[in-house]
Amino acid sequence: MSVKLPSDSVATPTPAIIADERERLDELLNRIHRLTAEGEGSSGIVVTPSARPAPPARTASKPADEGWHPAEPTSFRDAGLSNSEVENLILKFLGARAESSGREISDQIKLPFRLIDPLMQQLKDDQLVAHKGAAMMNDYIYQLAGRGRELAKKLTDHCTYYGAAPVLLSDYVESVKAQTIADQHPTEADLARAFSDLLIDKRMLLRLGPAINSGKGLFLYGAPGNGKTSIAERVTAAFGLHVWIPRALSVDGEIIRLFDPSMHEEAPLGASSGLIDDCKIDHRWIRIKRPTIVVGGELTMDSLEVTLNTVTNISEAPVQLKSNCGTLVIDDFGRQRMTTDELLNRWIVPLEKRYDYLNLASGKKIQVPFDQLVIFSTNLEPRDLVDDAFLRRIPYKIEVTDPDETAFRKLLEIMGRSLKVTYDAAAVDHLIQKHYRATGRPFRCCQPRDLLLQIVNYCHYTKQAPVMSPETFDFATENYFAVM
């Protein structure tokens, strides 16, 4: 005899209960994985948790030598987000993509699937999204319903951003404190490694070392062609290798894009060696090489402020914010489209206080870290560009001098090997005697490379092996020094 229970006697699990059960399942599978790995090593069996996405970008683990890292959030509140903010990103993404699985949505906005899954169910219950079909691993293909489509259009008209969920400004400030260059103290060995591909005098390294350790900025000045920019670009390599930065920041609902592929070089984590993805990193952040950002004559005052794209309503971070925890090189200082006084007045306080103030489109003013080594590289005399008050705030002024004859010959030998041009000491004697001593022309560090490139191109044209000779050097110098 069968007994039929009344329908109200069966409790329907809520999204919160479902999420809790899936989290427990994740933990159980992690324990099984650890026991299996310790007892048998790799068995070739792949165990995939039902509540965790498995795209290639997620199969990563924190390296043993990694310092600070952003921990994976356990809830939207832990991530500094509201349900509405996440819903808005999802609806705009579905409006652009038409349809997507829950795990694809999770990977797009960089939040754990176990947080996204119950929210998607709530959106379905609210008739904002609908199931189009089933997907792998207890997932569904979602598309916008009628109400959801209308709301997505309104949200997109206000702001088109639907990338990684933004990080709170306060969390970013704490991350800069944890990864600050002020805690980095490069040694002689660190500088030797950073400048290993340059022929640089030990006395120059001895002067650079304390300046880099100060983290306060320096002037590199001297004649053009002696490698000031090359030196400045390698300074960052003396610091720690990697830092974590948010892909985007949120300030009172305003989105500020921080990660810039044209200025930042991503440093992905290595593949996990475990049976399952045991990475507990917040994927709203991205691991990059310590930034080295070089700006030259194109620098304007707008580049130093948050800029709002009035079409997309997405703001872009200024260069000093993008260079935090790294190096910012002002190349050809004194030749910018703004006056040196404008630039120096803008930065005179940040250089001393280590923080800056930025104005948002909403009118709000925010305080942000100013945590980078600022290098002013110029062909001009610093005292002719700035006053004493600013020079005091840049305590290190290092002149990059011309190479002597021994260093010039060494550079020709090194560049010859690099460009596969046969070295000839007699031809180099001819070059120095005829084109330098006789004319009183100074040596420059860039000239060996430039002259040998002239020889390479000449020999390719005449179908002969590139070689240093009096004839090829005469040809190269005639072109190179024609108006110099």
Q: What is the pLDDT of residues 203-230, one digit of tens each?
A: 888 888 888 887 778 888 888 888 888 8
Of 366, 399, 432, the one marking the end of a domain is 399
- List pLDDT tens digits, range 419-455: 999 899 999 999 999 999 999 999 999 999 999 999 9
- Look at residue 5 in the predicted model and tell me its pLDDT: 43
In a domain, 33, yes or no: no
Which two three-digit tokens encode residue 337? 């489209």
**Which among 338, 368, 399 is the end of a domain?**
399
> How far is Cα of residue 191 from the mean position of the Cα atoms in its chain?
22
Q: Residue 10 above 70 pLDDT?
A: no
Q: Are residues 308 and 232 in the same domain?
A: yes
Q: Give the separation between CA 90 and CA 109, rounded to whole angstroms.
A: 8
Instruction: Enumerate residues 6+ apart whose C-beta is below 8 A from 198.
Output: 227, 230, 231, 234
Number of domains within the chain: 3
Q: Give yes or no for residue 381 having a pLDDT over 90.
A: no
Which residues constitute the domain of residue 161? 83-165
Check pLDDT > 50 for residue 52: no
Structure letter (DSSP) for residue 403: P
On the CB side of 321, CA atoms within 13 Å amount to 28
Residue 15: predicted pLDDT: 55
Q: Among candidates 53, 149, 146, 67, which has minimal Cα distance to 101?
A: 53
Residue 49, in any domain of the structure? no
Based on the domain organization, do 146 and 191 belong to the same domain? no
Average pLDDT of span 83-103: 93
The pLDDT value given to residue 11: 47
Residues above pLDDT 70, as percent of the chain: 84
Burial grade of 63 (CB within 10 A; 0-12, 13-18, 19 or more): exposed
130 SS3 class:
strand
Q: What is the mean pLDDT of residues 304-319?
A: 92
pLDDT of residue 476: 93
What is the band of 60 on the pLDDT scale with cuts at 50, 70, 90? very low
- Confidence category of residue 71, pLDDT binned at 50, 70, 90: very high
Residue 6 covered by a domain: no
Confidence (pTM)? 0.77
| Positive or negative torsion for Cα 240, 246, 247, 249 | negative
Length of the chain (residues): 484
Residue with tokens 């440093």: 267
Residues 97 and 179 in one domain: no
Same domain, 295 and 434: no
H-helix segments, 282-387: 319-322, 340-353, 382-385
Asked if 128 contacts 148 with a C-beta cutoff of 8 angstroms, the reply is yes
Confidence of residue 272 (pLDDT cuts 50, 70, 90): low
Of 382, 399, 416, the residue that ends a domain is: 399
Beta bridge partners of 129: 144
Rounded mean pLDDT, 310-328 = 93
Stretch among 164-168, 190-194, 356-360 having the lowest mean pLDDT: 190-194
Are 159 and 186 in the same domain?
A: no
- Is 451:473 a contact under the CB 8 Å cutoff? yes
- 277-286 pLDDT, tens digit per residue, is 456 899 999 9
Please report the pLDDT score of residue 26 as a whole number.
Answer: 61
Do 245 and 285 meet the contact criterion of CB atoms below 8 Å apart?
Answer: yes
**CATH assignment at residue 267:** 3.40.50.300
Helix, strand or coil for residue 117? helix
Q: Are 299 and 367 found together in one domain?
A: yes
